[in-house]
Structure 1
């Protein structure tokens, strides 16, 4: 009875061991290789599988998910003999489990060493300026080379990224000074170009202003010439009223400019009251003559008939009088004789 119990217990234990050795549970994202007497036979995908105990066994357990491998920092000498320190990361994924298990030993170490050697090769063929400004090109070259080398191992390298490039401190300071000098140079060039454009625009503005001034002077000269022509025609026709009008207008404008002059050194001496009154009388006579009807039309001109015009008074010689240097001489009125006057101004009977 005792022997029977021991045999039953032994059989139960062997059954449990047999079941444990036979049933294999493969998790998601993993694959197991199966070896029969040391030789690869098949690959177990995620799920529940049975193998023959003591005849078959699991050889390698491979992670089929994409994995990240850090590339340690290393020194690289560039083509222009600059020493820099570089590190990076590698992203890879196993696509063929048997190749990754039996074509290479220590897969991660092999990928790491392959990446480091190719990193020195690619970056050593470039100048420092290219190294710092063309990281995308470096990543692309490294990816092409490393992926081609790891293809026989059943591995796909999906990405290689350079994390940091560290030049020596003195080289960084030199690059900073160079960058500052280049920026100062660009700033000076921009300032010079701005000044040149400003000079050109200023010259064009002066040319345009000069052309406008010349055109204005030409128009003014034309207006003056036309006015002079009209005055000459009026004088030729015997209309002395136009001459008196222009003289009186200029006279009043001169007095106005003297009155509002900001210069305190201008001294306006008093003039003769009769001169001012005479000028106003002359303007009134001009207006009266302009409004008088034509004698030839029979309308009459007040019964006195035409009057003789007084000749213009000759200008006074310079220096005669106390205020000759600072006061404009008054304009005597050009009028007819008063009633009952005698002399050359009298109206002939």
Structure 2
């Protein structure tokens, strides 16, 4: 191998080195800063770019995609002197590659430390109950403070989330007992409300039942009064008919009327609960004789009303039906 071949080979190698140092390909989601003699001049966007050989070089390669930084766990004393362990995560995105590259050294570490200090500040200004139940408030306050602090660095803080909050063991036990007591209180209240609603429902049912019973008694009384009225009307009509029959001289109507009253009186006597025995009258034929006598009186009244002037002297007297044999009086034991 002679000198000319070595020289050509060296030229080829230098050409490739020069080519790779001049032509730069920037991938998507990345940006590169260009320095001329150590001074920042421009920023290369994604794509292919050419540099001035031996004059310009690549300074910093910046990631323009959204990144997630983990804030390490730390112990924080709250406003009411309770010790809690807190950690978080922060989502950032570089908006200006030049400022992020040249205004702060070690950007992820700087943002992590900034989040840690502000986390202690925010949590330390709140009570333990507020810290446990107001995570959204903590996140929003941290986001406002850290985003304002990182704006000169060309970084946008999109979100900050509290990942874990760990109170001490004794506080955790006290919270568990408090939660149990609260659950029991709610259960007692719910049970009392149920009993109250049941009592109200029973009272409403009793009220409706009493109203319906009163309505029933009212309707029954009305029906009874109507029945008694109709019975009285029927009795009055029957009496009127009997009176008219008597006026006309109808002996059968008189017999029926008197016999009915006699039977009703005797039935009432038999239904008397204080009577051990029932006395049967010995003169059973007295009823028939009484009916016959009443018939004679009605006949005479009828003749007088008609104004007959002639006297029936020769008229034979009406034969009285033979009286049935008189049963012997005695006591009949009630069944």
How many residue pairs get aligned? The number is 281
Equivalent residue runs for 1:26-105 within 5 Å: 26-105=26-105
Distance 1:92 1:33 in 2: 20
Distance 2:121 2:138 in 1: 11
Shift of 1:181: 0.9
Larger radius of gyration: 2
**Once structures 1 and 2 are overlaid, which stretch shifts more, 110-119 or 122-131?**
122-131
- Tell me what 1:315 maps to: 269
**Once structures 1 and 2 are overlaid, which stretch shifts more, 49-58 or 116-125?**
49-58
Distance 1:166 1:72 in 2: 14
Shift of 1:20: 2.8
Deviations 1:194-223 (A, max 9, x none): 322332333333233223322322332233
Shift of 1:176: 1.2
Secondary structure of the residue that 1:138 maps to in structure 2?
Answer: helix
Distance 2:150 2:3 in 1: 60
Equivalent residue runs for 1:85-164 within 5 Å: 85-164=85-164
Shift of 1:305: 6.2
Q: Which stretches in structure 2 are left out of the alignment for 5+ residues? A: 293-319, 321-335
**Once structures 1 and 2 are overlaid, which stretch shifts more, 48-57 or 90-99?**
48-57
Shift of 1:62: 0.8
TM-score (ref. length: structure 1)? 0.70
- Tell me what 1:203 maps to: 203
Question: Are residues 1:186 and 2:176 paired?
Answer: no
Secondary structure of the residue that 2:286 maps to in structure 1?
Answer: coil
Secondary structure of the residue that 1:86 maps to in structure 2?
Answer: strand
Shift of 1:102: 0.3
Shift of 1:238: 5.0
Distance 1:95 1:143 in 2: 17
- Tell me what 1:255 maps to: none
TM-score (ref. length: structure 2)? 0.72
CA RMSD of aligned residues (A): 3.3
Secondary structure of the residue that 1:345 maps to in structure 2?
Answer: helix
Deviations 1:304-339 (A, max 9, x none): 664132521263676553xx7xxxx9xx9xxxxxxx
**Once structures 1 and 2 are overlaid, which stretch shifts more, 116-125 or 227-236?**
227-236
Alpha carbons of 1:17 and 1:227: their partners in 2 closer, same or farther (altered >3 Å)? closer
- Tell me what 1:344 maps to: 287
Secondary structure of the residue that 1:59 maps to in structure 2?
Answer: strand
Alpha carbons of 1:53 and 1:210: their partners in 2 closer, same or farther (altered >3 Å)? same
**Once structures 1 and 2 are overlaid, which stretch shifts more, 305-314 or 162-171?**
305-314
Deviations 1:128-150 (A, max 9, x none): 22222222222222111111111
Question: Are residues 1:214 and 2:214 paired?
Answer: yes
Alpha carbons of 1:306 and 1:72: their partners in 2 closer, same or farther (altered >3 Å)? same
